Amino acid sequence: MCTKLPAPRATCVLEVNAIQTIVCILTLHGANASFSTPSGRRLKGEIVAERNPRIQPDLIDTLFLRASFRVGRTSITQLSDGVVVAPRRNWFNSIEPSEWMPALGLSDPDTPFPVNFGGFLVQNGESTTLFDCGVGPQAEEFFPGIREGGHFLSRLDESGVEPGDIDRVVISHLHIDHCGHLVARGGDLTFPRAEVWVHEREIAYWNSEAAASNIQPGEIRRYLDAVTAAGLLRPYRDEFELTTGIRLVPASGHTPGHTAMLVESEGECALLLGDAVHHWLHFEHPTWLQSYDVEPPVSVATRTSLFDRAVASDAIVTAVHMPILTLGRLTSVADSFKYHAL
């Protein structure tokens, strides 16, 4: 188990490219924030910066498509598979807009938010693991208007990793925006030798009638069948260490077999939260649920448990749908939590 760290910033280091193009580190809640992308690619357009609690449309060039940070000796790279900018009332489905809008300084509940899709590349020196793999080659079909959609493999290539290098893919849950690149358009496995780890409850759910009203159940079953036929599906049940410093943490609620990933190295750690969190406000309001959660009461309990764990271990917390990179730490306050952006 990782331990408390005295200097949080020391563990959060953007990967700088050869020409050292990082020009600014974001202030926690400051008004001025600008930086260039480590990958040399930057999404331009109407993207708004979400790190500032008051969304500022003038901060439009601040979204990375790929960026890395370190946990001890382990490198974690978030890879985008596209960005959609749209209203997100459904991220705060359990409450009235009048409750969540003031926390963001908003007056319009239909203010657009950026939502990133993709996954995380975790390299611990022994093996190469993906935690989720984006929307997939049908990105535009599933999310019309998505920008840079379906380019996850390009982001992987920019990281110097080929699909055949991937040892395992851990799927947080089987919504299409998390497992979309498991199977290529022609039906072949995208990562030809990668084990695919999915919680056994998740597999059972998507093979049941209960999933009929969820998102693209037929497509999900096709993916599962392809991975199973290749002998690469790896169901699991309880929390365990998948490989050195990478633990799978069952975190049901969003879906029955939803899973988080805890990465530990040299006393430092990061908790990758899947879809337990969509916006940093969820850290401070674990009961503010989004609309896709299959088991809402379980989601609240799971979030609280995950956040308690993050506080106890001083873990960096992040999740795939937040803009790259949205890193923070949590502390306990009263009966909730305080989010501290890094």
Output 148 or 275, the one with its CB closest to Zn ion.
275
The nearest distance, CB 176 to Zn ion, in angstroms, is: 9
Which of 3-11, 134-142, 172-180, 311-319 is the region at the interface with Zn ion (rule: CB under 5 A)?
Answer: 172-180
Listed in sequence order, the residues at least 6 apart from 171 whose beta carbon sits closer than 8 Å to its beta carbon are 132, 133, 178, 179, 182, 196, 197, 198, 202, 259
SS3 content of the chain, % helix, strand, coil (to 5): 25, 25, 50
Binding to Zn ion by residue 81, rule CB under 5 A?
Answer: no
Task: Name the minimum Å distance from CB 56 to Zn ion.
Answer: 25
Burial of 298 (C-beta count, 10 Å sphere; 0-12/13-18/19+): middle
Q: How far apart are CA 336 and CA 303, in angstroms?
A: 11
Nearer to Zn ion, 52 or 91 (CB): 91
What is the three-class DSSP state of 248? strand
Region of 1-9, 21-29, 100-108, 169-177 interacting with Zn ion (CB under 5 A): 169-177
Measured from the CB of residue 291, what is the shortest distance to Zn ion in angstroms?
A: 12
Distance of closest approach, residue 125 Cβ to Zn ion, in angstroms? 29
- Cβ contacts of residue 271 below 8 Å, gap of 6+? 249, 260, 261, 262, 263, 306, 309, 310, 313, 315, 316, 317, 318
**Interacting positions 110-149 with Zn ion (CB under 5 A):** none
Instruction: Give me the least distance between CB of 175 and Zn ion, in Å please.
Output: 5
202 near Zn ion (CB under 5 A): no
Piece of 162-170, 260-268, 271-279, 297-305 that binds Zn ion (CB under 5 A): 271-279
Q: Give the count of residues interacting with Zn ion (CB under 5 A).
A: 2
* CA dist., res. 176 & res. 53, Å (int): 29
Please report, in angstroms and rounded to a whole number, the separation of the first and last CA atoms in the chain: 22
CB 32 within 8 A of CB 57: no
Task: For the CB of residue 180, give the shortest distance to Zn ion in the complex, in Å.
Answer: 10
Closest CA to 233 of 221, 243, 249: 221
Stretch that binds Zn ion, among 8-16, 78-86, 174-182, 239-247 (CB under 5 A): 174-182
Which range binds Zn ion by CB under 5 A, 8-16, 54-62, 239-247, 268-276?
Answer: 268-276
Q: Is 312 exposed, middle or buried (0-12, 13-18, 19+ CB in 10 A)?
A: middle
Is residue 275 within the footprint of Zn ion (CB under 5 A)? yes
Among 50, 158, 177, 314, binds Zn ion (CB under 5 A): 177
Chain residues binding Zn ion by CB under 5 A are: 177, 275
